[in-house]
Structure 1
Amino acid sequence: MPIVRIDLSDRRSPGQRRAISDAVHEAFVESVGIPRGDRFHLVTTHPAAEIIADPGYLDIAREDVVYIQVTFVRGRSAELKQKFFRAVADHLERVGVRRQDVAIVLTENTVADYSWGNGEAQLLNLGPVPGTEPAA
């Protein structure tokens, strides 16, 4: 149920854009445990001049940044999130994206914040969300 927005420059071919989406999804499946069929991605290209990232922030040499914004259900540990970050970088490196050019931001919400059709909040009735910790 994560919503993934991937913003990147138009220098990347349509094939590489799809490979980037595939790689991000595979990282989710492997590191977080979401079901393989749980995929909702928006891939948006921008003219290279509109992708602005400080080329040296935090001493990381950036060249052609791929921004990944993920909205998903709250409850994953910091360790699991770091595992996810590493998995994304690993998978993207395999499809030609430099690790230094991977920028990820996670935003969390609750199961009540999703409707996947029919005007219903289906996640309220599905039970535990993969990768989340039980409520305290």
Structure 2
Amino acid sequence: MPLAHIAMRAGKPDAYKQAIFDGLYRAMRETFDVPEDDQFMVVTEHDAASFRYGQSYLDISRSDDLVFIQITANNTRSTQQKKALFRLVVELLGKAPGLRAEDVFVNLIEVARENWSLGLGVAQYARTE
């Protein structure tokens, strides 16, 4: 049950944002075994004064097309799955909407399964004891 927050500069068309949603969802399905229709993602757009980044941190040349993708997910994935996710996100977003690899910034936040309520006030993933 990943929850994805995508932050980017304002001004891109809706199709561009939908391509990011589609690529990210596909990458999570293929690498994190996310179930069908498990799509919980939001885009926030920022003007230039509200969007700051290191243009060359770690010798990576970033542009104003940079997107920050922060994914909160259960702490059940292996390091190999995480690396595969990062690679596939970059590959798919390179195809559509055409993001450069240098402009895809991904951060994964891992949480315990019991830290989710997907509605109804129920902790759906909590283990019964």
TM-score of the aligned structures, taking structure 1 as reference length: 0.87
Distance 2:45 2:21 in 1: 12
Query: Identity of paired residues, percent?
Result: 35
Gaps of 5+ in 1: 127-136
Equivalence for 1:13: 13
Query: How many residues are treated as equivalent by the alignment?
Result: 126
Task: Give how far 1:29 is off.
Answer: 0.7
Q: What is the RMSD of the two structures over their aligned residues, measured on CA atoms?
A: 1.4
Task: Give how far 1:11 is off.
Answer: 3.0
Distance 1:26 1:6 in 2: 15
Equivalence for 2:78: 77
Distance 1:86 1:11 in 2: 26
Equivalence for 1:131: none
TM-score of the aligned structures, taking structure 2 as reference length: 0.92
For 1:123, what is the secondary structure of its paired residue? coil
Contact 1:51 1:65 in 2 (8 A): no
Distance 2:115 2:15 in 1: 33
Deviates more, 1:41-50 or 1:99-108: 41-50
**Residues 41-64 of structure 1: CA distance to partner in whole angstroms, max 9, x if unpaired?**
011111134221111111111002
Contact 1:5 1:68 in 2 (8 A): yes
Match status 1:41 vs 2:41: yes
User: Residue type of the partner of 1:78?
Assistant: T
For 1:122, what is the secondary structure of its paired residue? coil
Distance 2:83 2:12 in 1: 26
